[in-house]
Amino acid sequence: MSHLTPGLQGPPAARTARLGLGAPGYAHPLVAPVEWAELTRPSTPLHWAVLNVANGPGDRPDPHCLDAAGRLTNARLRVLGHLDLAYGGRPVAEIVADARHFLGWYRVGGFYLGRCPAGRAELPWVRRTTAALEALLDGAPDSARDGGYIVLGHGIHPHPGYLDAADQSVTFSGPWTDYRWSQAPAWTAEYPSERFVHLVHGVPRGHLDEALRVARWQGAGTVFFTDALPGRTDVPVGIGLPGRTGENTPFETLPGFWDEFVSRLGLCVLE
């Protein structure tokens, strides 16, 4: 697993990397075909896209999800299956069973662990969970696991020990009104930018450049910014953001500034 590589030393400003896109869970491909199609556009610097069929893999293969995931995989792009950790409230065996379905049905390249705990007390449980998932990925065909990638969906800065348990951690997930004034803990400077993900909603079009500056300053390597707000009603309930159950989320559709966002990402480098 790539997260076993030692972290780089130095402040975020000294770490050079290109910002990329993480799509945290578009709506079902049947109701969001444009969103899924845009991910395969050659100019899109996509790091990964999360497939969330029904707060997990569902109880049977979904032909629309099979097609969407297949298009990304065939384009050599990484698809992550969404696994709900329920903040440590699910048995590891149940999580691994969902992971097996994702691998067998959709040939995902890894997993996004939604509602992941962030505290010191839950760290041993998360490590056992990611170790079980790594073993499963290591036994999958190379064409399915695509390197076996794992993202922890905390949504906040976790205990630093979590950085040794996966490839990336989502250290911010929330509104622009909070993000623009947020700060990263000093310990994050000990790791390369590609270890951190920021997911931000409610970003006004005129503040996109400012949002990208915040991401660069805080050392994030993967981002998703949208001008959408929570509570929309135009997408069926229950098909949504990894780690969220029974509600619509602002990350299910393309942001209104999508073209500008993609072009800015192609130019943004952490220096």
Q: What is the pLDDT of residues 181-215, one digit of tens each?
A: 999 999 999 999 999 999 999 999 999 999 999 99
Q: Is the pLDDT of residue 168 over 70?
A: yes
What are the respective helix, strand and coil percentages of the chain, to the nearest 5?
Answer: 40, 15, 45
Residue 61 predicted with pLDDT over 70: yes
Q: Is the pLDDT of residue 8 over 60?
A: no
Model pLDDT, residue 23: 97
Token pair, residue 227, equals 């001008």
| Residues 222-233: tens digit of each pLDDT | 999 999 998 744
Q: How much is the pLDDT for 51?
A: 97
CA pseudo-torsion sign 217, 126, 49, 257: negative
| pTM for this predicted structure | 0.88
Is the confidence at residue 109, as pLDDT, over 80? yes
SS3 assignment, position 222: strand
- Mean residue pLDDT of the chain comes to 87
Percent of the chain with pLDDT over 90: 77
Most confident of 25-39, 141-155, 160-174: 160-174
Q: What is the mean pLDDT of residues 155-184?
A: 97
Instruction: Quote the CA–CA distance of 81 and 108 in Å, as a whole number.
Output: 6
11: confidence class by pLDDT, cuts 50, 70, 90: very low
pLDDT of 14 above 70: no
Angstrom distance (rounded) from CA 140 to CA 252: 29
pLDDT of res. 66: 97
178 three-class SS: helix
What's the average model confidence in pLDDT over 108-130?
97
Mean pLDDT of the region 220-245: 64
Cα–Cα distance for residue pair 251/27, rounded to 1 Å: 8
pLDDT > 90? residue 90:
yes
Lowest-confidence region among 1-5, 57-61, 73-77, 236-240: 236-240
16-20, 136-140, 259-263: the lowest-pLDDT one: 16-20
Per-residue confidence (pLDDT) for residue 18, from 0 to 100: 81
Residue 143 has pLDDT above 50, yes or no: no
d(CA 21, CA 105): 25
What's residue 140's pLDDT? 83
